[in-house]
Chains A and B, each alone.
Chain A
Amino acid sequence: DAGVIQSPRHEVTEMGQEVTLRCKPISGHDYLFWYRQTMMRGLELLIYFNNNVPIDDSGMPEDRFSAKMPNASFSTLKIQPSEPRDSAVYFCASKLRMNTEAFFGQGTRLTVV
């Protein structure tokens, strides 16, 4: 397996624009996580899915953020409208089961200007 695949690797956008980040988890993994990493706050969980169903979205900062998982092999994280404070690295991770280690994608570095 190629591991967790995220796209794009880098995204630069203007404030107010919509941004969509994409993730393909490892095949057969039941859990998918979206994290955001900044220098100030470290690695924060935004939302996670189990078998394509959102389980906990309490980490989503506000209504501008939304995530979907239409099938077992694809998830998106959307920010609309984007703001400069959303600039961060966004990681997607997947797990085989809840009590196993997480495998991270290479991340998307988002810059909102």
Chain B
Amino acid sequence: GQNIDQPTEMTATEGAIVQINCTYQTSGFNGLFWYQQHAGEAPTFLSYNVLDGLEEKGRFSSFLSRSKGYSYLLLKELQMKDSASYLCAVRYYGGSQGNLIFGKGTKLSVKP
């Protein structure tokens, strides 16, 4: 079966660095997405990893280790506007569930 685990909540300080972890157990893994969702809004795409290693995009980076079933999202120079939920989503081969399963999200609170 498919399962995605990520911490429910995290707190960090403005200007700091925070790492949000995601572990997954899937068969037919075919890529991992990170989405950001502010309260009351729609999820928006942040990053995509299909090969092992680090993908950097401005203040945000995402890492993937396929052998370990592990990914993390790294947020640098935290800003208050980064307070949001961060959703890890795994894409896999196969026809069910639209090819993408979402974790329940990590709610990040950035404090002054």
Contact = CB atoms under 8 A, between A and B. Distances in A.
Contacts of B95: 55-56
B105 A106 contact: no
- Interface extent on A, as a size class? 20 to 34
Q: Is the interface of A mostly helix, strand, loop or mixed?
A: strand
B89 to A, nearest CB: 8
A99 B95 CA distance: 12
B59 to A, nearest CB: 19
Interface string A22-48: 000000000101010000011111001
B27 interface: no
A43 B43 contact: yes
A107 B39 CA distance: 12
Nearest to B95: A56
Contacts of B101: 45
A30 B41 CA distance: 24
Contacts of B91: 99
B100 A45 contact: yes
B97 A58 contact: yes
A30 to B, nearest CB: 12
A58 B101 CA distance: 13
Interface string A92-108: 00000011011111110
25 contacts: A4-B42, A31-B98, A42-B102, A42-B103, A42-B105, A43-B43, A45-B98, A45-B100, A48-B98, A55-B95, A55-B98, A56-B97, A56-B98, A58-B96, A58-B97, A98-B99, A99-B30, A99-B31, A99-B91, A101-B33, A101-B45, A103-B45, A106-B42, A107-B41, A107-B42
